[in-house]
């Protein structure tokens, strides 16, 4: 397994890379890097590739597993409905291919696509008697499937662009999988007790991706051609600034008013009057997108999560809440810390978490080895896999034979050495038991007798009840799961009748939970002594001292 996995977003304004590492206790985020694409006369994608090449070289990612994110304006997104259920994936693949050929203006042989079945819309998403404008899709008698499709020639272009950027992408990822992982890892949604579809709105530079997520899966996806660039152009026109200065002014002084956050001065009102000319049509497009989701799938989003560089506009959350009629907010401080993970949490404030949120979701999605949606499929995937096997088959086979030969020789040598040592130990046992008991005895005979020649037998064995390895396994089995506590064990020392554990936890309650579970181990006799807790940033550093009676 690769030590690092990364996702790349070749955006219109900047290039973003999120690096993660998979592990037994979950995926950890290692780094998030964003670089602005420099201006120039060359095509934007070529300039972005040169920026990417520099980043890949600096971060030493050329030999790691990388995935390339693709924006919604590069793909065809469709919700396909079938009258059957529980079809095998190979048969479903054929059915979806035939259906897409009828609705996408690309021949099947010139298309690559990815898909995932949509969970059934739960009852109660739209309350009985609730006034809903527009059509609501009835429950499906079969199954609905969310599909992403792309011209194969465009997928090949993206692969070549990634190679110019210093790596060959293992997959091409649309927004659906990353948005699902993002919703899964944002604690503010759980704190608000929202149990229903959530719309992830990623506001980029030239376009915005809207993905509706429910039950850990994307159920609807659409891209709209309105984003931060139109707001910047409005500022540049009104105040007669060049584009770069208008962009800087937007990030520094941009403001959009609402009933809950009104403009307090004439200057703020003037800024609002300029920006609302572009943001009002943007909100209208979002309303139409959510209505299309309801009409096509039956899902009515109950909240919206605003991410991307365009979401950082002051007052934008309150404005969108009023415009689209559902609670809308940007990432909170807890959300940013949760997405950054324990390793990056101390420096999360200085990282581009908000602008790269969807890229981070993609990194979490692909770290498991099988992203929800991957457009590097079909003919492209087969061609890459077979070429890899042909190139590596002979050296891999030779290496395997060499490993087997050396393993056989090593095993034979170890067996010979063990038998020789066994003969020496058997002779020593016979000599010493003859001197002690008057006759040679076997190990079972010795363990069944008492410690003296005249004993009656039946005493406890001198062997310890548990080894250090047994105690390690017992401690591991009693550590609470990661949904209950967030622990980072830095040191574990097991000595004769003494065990010490050093680590960090989020709260003192989590340390108490760990102590309570360890006290359940019989060999500890509830002698688990927690020391003082020392604050380390937002974490608590603890030291546990345990007496063991089984060694």
| pLDDT value of residue 453 | 43
| pLDDT value of residue 388 | 46
Q: Which stretch of 12-21, 47-56, 478-487 has the lowest confidence by average pLDDT?
A: 478-487
Q: Which of 1-15, 192-206, 229-243, 494-508 has the highest mean pLDDT?
A: 229-243
What percentage of the chain has pLDDT greater than the value 90? Answer: 48
Reported pTM:
0.68
For 165, the token pair is 């950027």
| pLDDT value of residue 131 | 53
pLDDT band (50, 70, 90) for residue 549: confident
pLDDT digits (tens, 9 = 90+) for 267-296: 999 999 999 999 999 999 999 999 999 999
Q: Taking a C-beta distance cutoff of 8 angstroms, is the pair 258, 321 a contact?
A: yes
- Tell me the C-alpha distance between 340 and 360, whole Å: 9
What percentage of the chain has pLDDT greater than the value 70? Answer: 92
pLDDT band (50, 70, 90) for residue 458: very low
Number of neighbouring beta carbons within 10 Å of residue 422:
10
Task: Calculate the alpha carbon distances from 401 to 1, 388, 389, 411 in Å.
Answer: 22, 20, 17, 15
Q: Which residue has the higher pLDDT, 393 or 174?
A: 174
pLDDT greater than 80 at residue 460: no
Enumerate the H helices of 325-371 as residue ranges: 333-344, 357-367
pLDDT digits (tens, 9 = 90+) for 68-82: 999 888 999 999 998
Number of neighbouring beta carbons within 10 Å of residue 333:
10
- Tell me the C-alpha distance between 520 and 487, whole Å: 19
pLDDT digits (tens, 9 = 90+) for 94-121: 889 888 988 899 998 899 999 999 988 7
Q: Taking a C-beta distance cutoff of 8 angstroms, is the pair 338, 275 a contact?
A: no
Of residues 178, 176, 173, the one with CA closest to residue 67: 173
Burial class of residue 70, CB neighbours in 10 A (0-12, 13-18, 19+): buried
**Going by C-beta distance under 8 Å and a sequence separation of 6 or more, which residues neighbour residue 481?**
none
- Using only C-alpha atoms, the chain has a radius of gyration, in whole angstroms, of 31
Q: Which stretch of 379-393, 410-424, 475-489, 490-504 has the lowest confidence by average pLDDT?
A: 379-393
| pLDDT value of residue 398 | 85
């Amino acid at each position: 397994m690769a030590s690092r996995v990364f996702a790349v977003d070749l955006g219109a304004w900047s290039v973003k890379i999120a690096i993660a590492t998979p592990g037994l206790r979950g995926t950890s985020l290692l780094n998030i890097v964003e670089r602005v694409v420099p201006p120039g006369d060359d095509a934007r994608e070529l300039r972005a590739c040169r920026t990417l090449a520099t980043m890949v070289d600096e971060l030493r990612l050329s030999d790691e597993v990388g995935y390339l994110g693709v924006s919604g304006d590069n793909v065809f997104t469709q919700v396909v409905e079938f009258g059957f259920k529980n079809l095998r994936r190979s048969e479903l693949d054929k059915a979806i291919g035939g259906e897409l050929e009828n609705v996408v203006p690309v021949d099947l042989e010139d298309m690559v696509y990815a898909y995932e079945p949509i969970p059934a819309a739960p009852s109660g998403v739209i309350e009985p008697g609730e006034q809903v404008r527009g059509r609501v899709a009835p429950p499906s008698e079969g199954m609905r499937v969310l599909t992403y499709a792309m011209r194969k020639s465009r997928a090949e272009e993206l692969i070549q662009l990634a190679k110019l950027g210093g790596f060959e992408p293992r997959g091409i990822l649309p927004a659906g999988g990353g948005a699902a992982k993002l919703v899964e890892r944002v604690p503010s949604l759980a704190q608000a007790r929202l149990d229903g579809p959530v719309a992830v709105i990623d506001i980029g530079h030239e376009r915005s991706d809207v993905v509706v997520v429910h039950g850990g899966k994307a159920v609807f996806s659409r891209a709209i051609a309105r984003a931060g660039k139109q707001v910047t152009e409005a500022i540049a026109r009104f105040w007669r600034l060049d584009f770069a200065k208008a962009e800087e002014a937007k990030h520094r002084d941009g403001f959009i008013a609402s009933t809950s956050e009104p403009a307090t001065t004439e200057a703020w009102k003037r800024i609002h009057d300029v920006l609302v000319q572009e943001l009002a049509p943007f909100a209208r497009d979002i309303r139409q997108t959510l209505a299309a989701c309801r009409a096509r799938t039956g899902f009515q989003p109950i909240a919206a999560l605003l991410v991307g560089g365009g979401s950082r506009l002051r007052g934008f959350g309150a404005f969108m809440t009023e415009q689209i009629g559902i609670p809308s907010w940007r990432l909170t401080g807890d959300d940013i810390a949760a997405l950054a993970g324990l390793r990056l949490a101390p420096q999360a404030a200085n990282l581009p978490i908000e602008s790269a949120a969807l890229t981070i979701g993609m990194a979490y999605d692909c770290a498991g080895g099988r992203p929800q949606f991957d457009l590097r499929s079909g003919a492209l995937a087969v061609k890459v896999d077979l070429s890899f096997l042909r190139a590596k088959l002979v050296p891999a086979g030779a290496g395997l034979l060499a490993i087997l030969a050396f393993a056989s020789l090593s095993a034979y040598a170890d067996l010979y050495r063990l038998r020789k040592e066994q003969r020496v130990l058997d002779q020593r046992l016979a000599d010493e038991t003859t001197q002690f008991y008057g006759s040679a005895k076997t190990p079972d005979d010795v363990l069944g007798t008492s410690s003296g020649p005249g004993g009656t037998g039946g005493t406890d064995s001198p062997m310890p009840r548990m080894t250090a390895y047994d105690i390690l396994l017992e401690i591991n089995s009693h550590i609470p799961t990661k949904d209950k506590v967030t622990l980072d064990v830095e040191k574990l020392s097991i000595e004769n009748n003494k065990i010490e554990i050093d680590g960090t936890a989020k709260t003192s309650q989590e340390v108490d939970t760990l102590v309570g579970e360890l006290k359940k181990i019989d060999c500890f006799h509830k002698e688990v002594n927690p020391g003082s807790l020392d604050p380390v940033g937002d974490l608590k550093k603890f030291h546990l001292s345990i007496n063991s009676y089984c060694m």
